[in-house]
Amino acid sequence: MIAYFNGEYCPKESIAISPDDRGFLFADGLYEVIRAYRGRLFRAEDHLERLKAGARSLNLTVQDFAHLKQVAQKLLVKNGLNADATVYFQVTRGAAPRGHAFPDPKVEPTVYGIAAPFDPGPGLKKQETGVPVILVPDQRWARCDLKTCGLTANVLANQRAKESGAGEALFVRDGVILEGTHSNFMAVVDNRLVTAPASNHILHGITRKLVLELAHAEGIPVWEAPVFEADRHKISEAFITGTTTEITPVTAIDSTPVGEGEPGPVTRTLQNALRQVTKKS
């Protein structure tokens, strides 16, 4: 595998990241996962814009990553990935002797990128059948809009989902079902598509944004408002969205079936609309 590391392309195995790297010591960094369909990047600009916004919020010394689109393309080519793939980028505040405050003098961020083949098979099966999910208390920090690599709460919640045979764990804060460990959450309530507003409590998903646009285009009413756990019985359909998740129906929440316990018509309409877009990309 040929990877990208601080401006250079090199075999992944040859990369040595300093134990002083702030990504290692403090999870002081950001990441992105970009999807490629048939070797072509999907919505890369949106992902790199989000990285830029995150870098600005974290006050990283480098705050523009538009050039990474070309890097992502090169990674696909250099690794012969002209089928389905993902490109992963991670940017940290760099390597410096351990101290909580920003390094002084400033250091260059660490920038790492890797492309990998993506087998859509298992995901497509889940998109067909749907998955059960569990609800877990949101124990994350209050800047979930930043895609930082500090994912301990997500890791623990996802492991809980796995151990209980669920496809995802959804975080609940103050009675509101916010999002999954690596996906956004949407529900159909009273024939409207409802999803948590793009606040500091959720990641502003690239797929979330696209699905809301597709819903508008399909004439499905959209309401960006809290989905309360207490109103679960009003949910007729639900699904999760994400770069690798695409639109995956939710068939049960904490073992209670959603609607008929099968993917519903709004979900199917949006899945088809998303497939049209990714096919054209």
Q: Which residues are catalytic?
A: 147
Choose among 270, 183, 194: nearest CA to 232.
194
Contact between 208 and ligand PDD by CB under 6 A: the answer reads yes
Q: Which is nearer to ligand PDD, 54 or 263 (CB)?
A: 54
Instruction: Give me the 54-73 binding string for ligand PDD, x by CB under 6 A, dash otherwise.
Output: --------------------
Report the alpha-carbon angle 226-228-229, nearest 5.
Answer: 145
| DSSP 8-state assignment for residue 1 | -
Phi, psi (degrees; rounded to nearest 5) at 151: -120, 20
CB 92 within 8 A of CB 148: no
Q: For residues 95 and 185, which CB has a smaller minimum distance to ligand PDD in the complex?
A: 185
For ligand PDD, which residue of 179, 226, 250, 251 counts as binding (CB under 6 A)? 179
In the complex, the smallest distance separating the C-beta of residue 44 from ligand PDD, rounded to whole angstroms, is 12
Candidate list 33, 135, 146, 252; residue touching ligand PDD; CB under 6 A: 33
Residues numbered 96-135 forming contacts with ligand PDD, rule: CB under 6 A: none
In the chain, % helix, strand, coil (3-state, to 5) comes to 30, 30, 35
C-beta of 28: minimal distance to ligand PDD in Å? 17
Write the interaction track for ligand PDD spanning residues 221-250; mark x where CB under 6 A is met and - where it is not. Answer: --------------------xxxx------
Question: Can you say whether the dihedral through the CA atoms of 131, 237, 118, 89 is positive or negative?
Answer: negative
β-bridge partners, 177: 172, 227
Residues that bind ligand PDD (CB under 6 A): 33, 179, 182-184, 203, 205-208, 241-244
